[in-house]
Structure formats: structure tokens, C-alpha cells
Chains A and B, each alone.
Chain A
Amino acid sequence: MENKKLTQAQMDTKWTELGDFFRRKSIWMLMYCTGCCAIELPQAMTSAYDMERLGMGPMATPRQADVLLITGYLSLKTLRRLVYTYEQMSEPKYVVAFGPCVINGGIYHDSHAVLNRLDHYLPIDVYISGCMPNPESVMNGFTDLMDLIKNKTAVGWKNYRDNNEWYKKNQMDALGEVFVHDEFHE
């Protein structure tokens, strides 16, 4: 080993690799159930499937959480709150999307209130299929997320950070204004 001292970049990668090991083993999900698929999460926590043995547990606030679960259809108003919460989460953060409604609007594709493509507005790392995916598929989704973290491809938050303007533009097109000012939020 000619230059014993590692360059700064190498040091950083060392840190991130070590970090990834821990981030993979203990993932905290944000208790924010945006849609109907959220009903499947309690089963994943109870004794049959026991999400805790994967190191996963619910956390109350976005600051503390690592993964944001978007469970089910995503209405216009919920997306505004979601973008605000997503930006409050501490890096590196991941998004897991449940069900078809997130992919192409699902059964609500023709509704005036539901968005058809979530990855246009927020970076998604893992999709879990099934209109209300059963707990096994939920657990599979989480293990997929762990693998993604392991081979460092769960980089949704980096994309969001790098091409932020594209995401912001899309959000403005769909929502009009993300931080809404009206009679109830003067």
C-alpha cells in the first residue's frame, strides 16, 4: 500500500459504507399513512410477520425517520403535505410506494383529485405491487429496500437533491403552489 493516508474521498466512501451497514440494519419508517394500503402495516408489525426483527420500527416525526411510506392513492392535497414532510426528513432518506395507484393512478386514474405518476414529483426507491399488498409483499418490499441500500442503489434522495428544479417544476405544474396560503393557513 504506497500512500498509507487515504484521500478525503476514500475516507468519505469508507464512512458511507460503514453508514450503509447500519442504515440497512435499522430502518425507521415515518408513521404517516397517506392512503388505504396503510392498513397492511400493522399486520407487518405484529407477531405473524414481525417487522421489528428486520430492525424496522415506526417513528413519530420526519426528522427521525429514514423511510417514507406512500401507501395507496395520492391525492392533490396530500402531495403538498408529503413534499413538505419529505423535505424535513434527514438525509439519506428513502421512499417506498405501495400499490398501483402510485404508479399510474390505479383505479383512480380518471379522478380530478388523484395524481397518476408519483415518481414525477418525489423520487421512489421501491414499488410494492398489489392493490393493497399483503404483508408478505410488504416485507419483501422492505427487504428489497435493504438490498438496494446494500448495493448503494437507493439513491432517490440524491436524484431529488441533484435535479431539484425538475421535480419542483413538475410539482408546480400539478399543484399550482406547494406551500398553500388560504383562509385556513393565513
Chain B
Amino acid sequence: MSVILMSMLIGLGVALFGFTLQTTIGGINRKVVGRMQKRYGPKWYQEFLDIFKALSKRAISHGWIYDFGVIMAVGGITATAMFMPITDSLVAFAGYDNFFIFVYLLAVGMLGMAMSASGSGNPLASIGVMRALTQMLAYEVPFMVVVITIIKVSGTSSLTGIMEFQQANGWFALSLPIGFGVAFLSLLGMLGKKPFETYIAPSEIASGPMVEYGGKQLGLLFVMHEIATFIEVSLFVHLFLGGASNIIEFLAKYFIVYTVANLISNLNGRFKIDQVVVFFYKWPLALAVLQAIWVLWR
């Protein structure tokens, strides 16, 4: 049992590390975007300030489901982060970091937030949740097809295993270029970055599910968003860029991936939700399936 407790603590550490890592990189990225627009951009720790400012404010609550949903969402996401390996050696639960845990525990976070957003009684929130779910249906399937190819090629579905495989014979980004592209698009969808920012659309549905959150619920949901981004980006790094053998390598790869995604998102407008679905079920899915057939059935 003590091993389990030990790895639980490491897991919490990983989650905390993920949160701080993503918040700093988020802050740095806001500065980078600022520089891109020829302005100074906020301080690098601005994200921390925003979150702690939100936590310090006095919030309102629309009933027990409104609070329980937030707790379940953030709890689920932190649980997922606890399984995430940082480098091939630094992982909380060795051997149990299965790919499907991440996909489905992320769904718990989504369900918790969706539940409390609908529970808040605001129609804008329900519309936002509906769009988030439909978008999830869109970007998830091509991503999963690409991941099958990876799992089948590397023979194991645990992330550390895939990392070792890539370190042994080359990154998947190079050996499966099409999959890399499709997965990057799905990553944009997962992060909810601009081209696929249908569910936070501030001008259309007043920041979608977040419409009724203020104070500590809002702060906690920001924490959840940061940790979810950490999970998704590090998942992408481990699957395609050969994970990391030491921390610095992980930080570098993580920063590059997130910044590229962020820059792309800052250049784009926003799709309508059914355009997003049609988009993902046209080219990305076709390419992913073709690649899978080519790689696996050859």
C-alpha cells in the first residue's frame, strides 16, 4: 500500500507541476502574441494573477449541482494529470499510464463542467455545452484512429512504452507525418483554440459554459483548463515527439508545441459548429484511415 500512497503523492506533484508549467507557458505565450502585435503584452505571471484574483473574489452559486459539477470536473482532470508521465522515468503509476485512461478521464472533466453549466440555468451555457460535445465528437475520432496506428506499431498502449519505442526507432512525427498533421488539428480542437473555439465563443454565446461562473468557481475552472491543456499537449508530445528523457527536453518540446498551436490560433477566425464537424469528417478522418490502412494492412 505504501507504494500506492507514494505514487499518489508523486501524482499530485505531477498535477501541480503541470498546472504551474502550463500557466507560466500560457503567460509567456500571451507575451509572445503581444510582441507579435507590436505591443508589450502582460507580465509572464499574469495567468497566475488572473487565477488567484478569481479565487479571491466572492462568488455566487446556483445550487448544489452547480458546485458539485465544478468539483467533479477539476477533480477528474487532476486525477488524469496524476497519471501523466513527464519523462520516461518520471511517472506516478509505472505501467498503468494507459492511453485510454486519458481520453476517458478527460471526458469526466467535460461531463462535470457540462453538468454544472447546464445546472446554472442559463441557456447560453447549455448551448455552449452542446457545441463542446459536438466538437468533441468531431475531433476525437480522427485522433483515435491515428493513435491506433501508433499503438499497433509500437505494440503497447502505455505512454512510457510508446516513448521508449520512439527513442529506439525514430519519432512518430517523422515516420507517420500524415498522422502528425491530423493529430495536430485534433489538438487544436481539443485545446479549443481559435479555429475551433466554437464553445467559448465570447461574441456569440458570451463565453459559453463559463457564462455563470464568477469568483472561486471561475478560478477553479481556469485551473482545470490549464491542467487539461497540460494533459493534451504533453499527450501530443509523448505520442509524436518521442516523449523526453530529461525535464529540459520535455519543457522545450512542450513550449514549442504549445506556442505553435497558440500562434496558429491567433491568426484564425472561428468556424461554425457544423462546419467543424464536416471539416473533421472530411479530410482528417480520410487521411487518418488511409494512413492506418497503409501502415497496418500493408
Contact = CB atoms under 8 A, between A and B. Distances in A.
A53 interface: yes
Nearest to A62: B214
Contact of A64 (B34, B42, B58, B207): B207
Contacts of A91: 57-58
B34 A90 contact: no
B164 to A, nearest CB: 42
Categorize the interface residue count of chain A. Answer: 20 to 34
Contact of A50 (B39, B50, B212, B213): B39
B52 A22 contact: yes
Given A46-B39, A53-B39, A64-B207, A18 B56 contact: yes
B75 interface: no
A63 B49 CA distance: 18
Given A22-B52, A22-B53, A55 B38 contact: no
A87 to B, nearest CB: 11
B37 interface: yes
A90 B56 contact: no
B60 A90 contact: yes
Nearest to B217: A63
Contacts of A26: 46, 49-50, 53
B30 interface: yes
B213 A55 contact: no
A60 B207 contact: yes
Contact of A55 (B42, B210, B211): B42
B211 A63 contact: yes
A47 B213 contact: no
B195 interface: no
| Chain A interface SS verdict (over half) | loop
Interface string A47-66: 11010110100111111101
A69 B134 CA distance: 36
Contacts of B202: 31, 58, 60
A90 B41 contact: no
Given A50-B40, A53-B39, A55-B42, A60 B57 contact: no
Residue from A46, A50, A89 with most neighbouring chain B CB atoms (10 Å): A50
A63 B213 contact: yes
Contacts of B210: 61, 64
Contacts of A64: 54, 207, 210, 213-214, 218
A179 to B, nearest CB: 18
Contacts of B42: 52-53, 55
Contact of A92 (B41, B57, B60): B57
B202 to A, nearest CB: 4
Given A52-B39, A53-B42, A22 B56 contact: yes
B49 A53 contact: no
B56 A15 contact: yes
Interface in A59-112: 59-64, 66, 89-92
A42 interface: no
B9 interface: no
Contacts of B38: 47
Interface of B: 30, 34, 37-43, 46, 49-50, 52-54, 56-60, 202, 206-207, 210-215, 218
Interface of A: 15, 18-19, 22-23, 25-26, 28, 31, 46-48, 50, 52-53, 55, 58-64, 66, 89-92
Given A22-B53, A53-B42, A60-B206, 6 more contacts: A26-B53, A52-B39, A61-B212, A64-B213, A64-B218, A92-B58
| Smallest CB-CB A-B distances: 6 pairs | A19-B56, A63-B214, A47-B39, A90-B214, A50-B39, A22-B53
21 contacts: A19-B53, A19-B56, A22-B49, A22-B53, A22-B56, A25-B43, A25-B49, A26-B49, A28-B50, A47-B37, A47-B39, A48-B39, A50-B39, A50-B41, A53-B40, A53-B43, A55-B43, A61-B206, A61-B207, A90-B59, A91-B58
